[in-house]
Amino acid sequence: MIKAGERLPDVEFTIPTSEGTKKARTAEVFAGKTVALFAVPGAFTPTCSAKHLPSFKEKAAELRAKGVDAIACTSVNDLYVMKAWAKDQGVENEMVMLADGSGDFAKAIGLDADFSKFGMGLRSKRYSMIVKDGVVDKLNLEEAGEYKVSSAEHMLGQL
């Protein structure tokens, strides 16, 4: 599992943008920026849609005021699901949606999880992290079934 002080691994994401689909490697997304990254087990799932993403939408201005250059959300979902979820949540222009369709990023950082017992297959654990120039500054990993330390509110106290 990745730890604070470690560089994010080189992985390619698919990102929905207003101009269409964009492919970007980790370095392109995180280099030279302070990024508030959060990961959810699945777009459109109850906690993710009702609490986790909305906390970052609600606190976006406060995060930016404390030095965050970008807010990014990742999930082991495909590009089309992430695009539809961003539209549904009204964050198309506020957050970078990092589709990790095959779970390459989740696996590379050791935060993948097997949700097969819920009919969801390989997913990401729920977490948030502050990433500075591609290096993990803070990692907030939730216990299974919890939603506390990965929230935007918790992250604000770390900046």
Three-class SS string for 55-79?
Answer: HHHHCHHHHHHCCCCEEEEEECCCH
Report DSSP letters for 102-126, one per residue: T-HHHHHTT-EEE-GGGT--EEE--
Q: In the prediction, which pLDDT does 144 show?
A: 83
**Rounded to an integer, what distance in angstroms lies between the CA atom of residue 126 and that of residue 123?**
9
Q: Which CATH class name applies to 12-156?
A: alpha beta
pLDDT tens digits, 126-136: 999 999 999 99
pLDDT tens digits, 50-70: 889 999 999 999 999 999 999
Terminal Cα-to-Cα distance of the chain (whole angstroms): 23
Is-catalytic flag, 73?
A: no
Q: Which is catalytic among the residues 36, 43, 48, 63?
A: 48
Place of tokens 């935060």: 111
pLDDT greater than 90 at residue 29: yes
Q: In the prediction, which pLDDT does 50 show?
A: 83
**Rounded to an integer, what distance in angstroms lies between the CA atom of residue 62 and that of residue 75?**
23
Mean pLDDT computed over 60-88? 96
Q: Which residue has the higher pLDDT, 39 or 116?
A: 39
pLDDT greater than 90 at residue 99: yes
Q: What are the Cα distances from residue 86, in Å, to 18, 72, 78, 148?
A: 11, 11, 12, 22
pLDDT over 70 percentage in the chain: 99
**Rounded to an integer, what distance in angstroms lies between the CA atom of residue 94 and that of residue 37?**
13
**Rounded to an integer, what distance in angstroms lies between the CA atom of residue 93 and that of residue 116?**
33
* Statement: the pTM of the whole predicted model exceeds 0.75: yes
Domain boundaries, the chain: 12-156
